[in-house]
């Protein structure tokens, strides 16, 4: 498209060219990124009113927040195996990229990005989570060394510890959370700190031997109890 990206329609959401992984997006509206922005705009509006005495900025932030949430409702979902799930990216013209990427903001991370739960539908998220953590998601891999979400950034069969930490941070089941924590803090995965990615069948096949992002999030997970 002559460097302009995939054609899009106006949706009320914020357009972006690149994913959190720094890879170019397929479609122009990144759903988890827009939900993250909508969540943060609530705080911005409150700060603009109380700390900066700027009602115009507060109103603009609230208006954009509402526009994004409505845009996601209207354009950001698709039926998958009988359930409504969030798309990873959309174009506002009917195009929906059904996938997830380990990099945050991700679909998996939505409750982490908005702990209030005000910007997203919990039933849609629950179905989306089931999709993301299954082989229906083309970037979810299972092997003898582990299972989890990867990224086009590192290619097929490479699992990102970042996704395992985020899975634990957003997990409701105490048993499953404890299992994920054990995986992250014992054995080959934790022997040298969390890497960018490892091969689903071989912990020794890695990319980026030191990756601060998952290690920092792991610290948050440990402190969260």
For 55-80, the pLDDT digits (tens) are 999 999 999 999 999 999 999 999 99
Q: Shortest CA distance to 165 belongs to which of 131, 143, 190?
A: 190
Q: What is the DSSP letter of 190?
A: G
Structure tokens at 98: 């059904």
Q: What is the predicted pLDDT for the residue at 45?
A: 97
**Helix count and strand count (H, E) for the chain:** 7, 10
Q: What is the predicted pLDDT for the residue at 84?
A: 98
| pLDDT of 1 over the 80 cut | no
Say whether the peptide bond before residue 78 is cis (omega within 30 degrees of 0): no
| pLDDT of 88 over the 90 cut | yes
Residues 137, 152 contacting (CB under 8 angstroms): no
Place of tokens 């969390």: 194
| pLDDT of 152 over the 80 cut | yes
Q: Shortest CA distance to 120 belongs to which of 86, 79, 152, 156?
A: 86
**Mean pLDDT of the 92-121 span:** 98
- Give the span between the Cα atoms of 19 and 51, in whole angstroms: 32
Q: What is the predicted pLDDT for the residue at 183?
A: 87
Cross-strand bridge partners of residue 80: 83
- Give the span between the Cα atoms of 63 and 171, in whole angstroms: 32
Q: How many CA atoms lie within 13 A of 52 on its CB side?
A: 12
Q: What is the predicted pLDDT for the residue at 2?
A: 66
Q: What is the predicted pLDDT for the residue at 6?
A: 80
| pLDDT of 224 over the 90 cut | no
Q: What is the predicted pLDDT for the residue at 3?
A: 66
Percent of the chain whose pLDDT exceeds 70:
98
């Amino acid at each position: 498209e002559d460097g302009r990206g995939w054609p899009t329609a106006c949706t009320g959401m914020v357009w972006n060219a690149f994913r959190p992984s720094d890879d170019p997006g397929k479609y122009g509206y990144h759903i988890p990124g827009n939900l993250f922005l909508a969540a943060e705009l609530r705080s911005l509006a409150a700060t603009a009113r109380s700390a900066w005495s700027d009602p115009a900025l507060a109103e603009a932030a609230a208006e954009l927040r509402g526009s994004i949430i409505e845009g996601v409702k209207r354009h950001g979902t698709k039926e998958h195996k009988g359930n409504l799930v969030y798309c990873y990216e959309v174009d506002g013209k009917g195009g929906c990229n059904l996938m997830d990427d380990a990099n945050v903001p991700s679909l998996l991370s939505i409750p982490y990005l908005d702990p209030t739960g005000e910007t997203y539908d919990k039933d849609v998220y629950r179905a989306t989570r089931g999709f993301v953590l299954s082989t229906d998601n083309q970037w979810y891999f299972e092997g003898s060394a582990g299972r989890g979400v990867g990224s086009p950034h590192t290619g097929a069969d490479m699992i990102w510890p970042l996704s395992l930490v985020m899975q634990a941070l957003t997990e409701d089941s105490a048993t499953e959370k404890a299992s994920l924590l054990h995986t992250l803090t014992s054995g080959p995965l934790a022997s040298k700190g969390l890497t960018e990615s490892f091969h689903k069948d071989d912990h020794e096949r890695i990319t980026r031997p030191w990756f601060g992002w998952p290690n920092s999030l792991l610290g948050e997970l440990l402190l969260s109890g």
